[in-house]
Structure 1
Amino acid sequence: MTNFFDFAISQLPAATADRRVPAPDEIDAMICKDSFAAVLRLLAGSFISLYEGSPEMTALFATRRSRLLCHALLALYFQKSAAGEGEIALTREDFGHQALRHGLASHSVAYAFFKEALKRGLIRPASPAQGQAAGVVPSPPALAMLAQWYDVHFQALDLLDEGFRASRFIERADVVVPHIHPLVSSAFLSHPEVRCPGPLSIIFNWFDAGGLLMDRLIAGIDGENPTEQGRRFTDIQTVTQLATSLSLSRIHVGRKLAAAELIGGIGWSGRRGRSALWISQGFYEEYARTQARKLLILDEILIGFV
Structure 2
Amino acid sequence: MPLAANDLVSNTAFFAAMQENARRMTALFAENPRLNSIFASQQRWLMAQLGFSLYYRPDPQDPAKGLYSGRFVAAAMQYDIASRNTAGAFIKEMLAYRFARPIDNPADHRMRPLEPTDMAVQSIVKWLYVHLAILDTLDGGERAVALAENPVLFARLQPTIAQGILENHAVRNPGETFNLFTWANSGGLVMDSFIARIQDFDPDAPRTVLGQVSSADICQRYLISKTHLKRLMDKAAQMGSLGHETVAGKNMLWLSQGFVREYWTYQAEKFALIDAAFHTQAAPEKTAGGSAVRQLSAVP
Which TM-score applies when normalising by structure 2? Answer: 0.82
Q: d(CA) in 2 for partners of 1:279 and 1:197?
A: 16
Supply the distance in 1 between the matched residues of 2:6 and 2:204 (Cα, whole angstroms).
Answer: 21
> What is the CA–CA distance in structure 1 between the aligned matches of 2:83 and 2:15, rounded to whole Å?
37
- Report the secondary structure of 1:232's partner residue: strand
- Specify the alignment match of 1:142 in structure 2: 120
CA distance in 1, matches of 2:173, 2:124: 22
Identify if the C-alpha distance between structure 1 residues 160 and 96 changes in structure 2 by more than 3 Å, giving closer, same or farther. same
Q: Structure 1: how far apart are the matches of 2:123 and 2:184?
A: 22
- Note closer, same or farther for the CA distance 1:187–1:227 as it changes in structure 2 (3 Å cut): closer
User: For 2:92, which of 115, 119, 126 is the aligned residue?
Assistant: 115
1:255 maps to 2:231? yes
Q: CA deviation at 1:229?
A: 4.2
Post-superposition CA distance 1:211-240 (Å, at most 9, x none): 11111111222x246578422222542322
- Deviations 1:69-90 (Å, cap 9, x if unpaired)? 110011111112x53799x973
Seq. identity, %: 27
Q: Normalising to structure 1: TM-score of the pair?
A: 0.81
**How many angstroms does 1:103 deviate by?**
3.2
Q: Quick check: 1:89–1:126 contact (8 Å CA) kept in 2?
A: no
| Aligned-residue CA RMSD (Å) | 2.9
Mapped contact 1:56–1:120 kept (Cα < 8 A): no
Structure 1 residues 85 and 277, CA gap change in structure 2 (3 angstroms):
same
Query: Structure 1 residues 119 and 281 mapped into 2: Cα distance closer, same or farther (>3 Å)?
Result: farther
Structure-2 change in CA distance of 1:47 and 1:121 (3 Å): farther
Aligned pair partner of 1:181 in 135, 158, 182: 158
Specify every segment of 5 or more residues in structure 2 that has no aligned partner in the other structure, as ranges.
Answer: 284-300
Please state whether the residue corresponding to 1:207 is helix, strand or coil. coil
Check conservation: 2:40, 2:189, Cα contact below 8 A. Answer: yes
3-state SS of the aligned residue for 1:35? helix
Distance in 1 (CA, whole Å) between partners of 2:230 and 2:80 is 32
- Once the two structures are superposed, the pairs formed by residues 10-159 of structure 1 within 5 Å of their partners are 26-80=4-58, 83=60, 90-127=67-104, 134-159=112-137
1:200 aligned counterpart, secondary structure? helix
**Against the structure 1 CA distance between its residues 121 and 209, is the aligned structure 2 distance closer, same or farther, given a 3 Å change threshold?**
farther
Q: Identify unmatched segments of 5+ residues in structure 1.
A: 1-21
Contact 1:57–1:122, Cα closer than 8 Å, also in 2: no
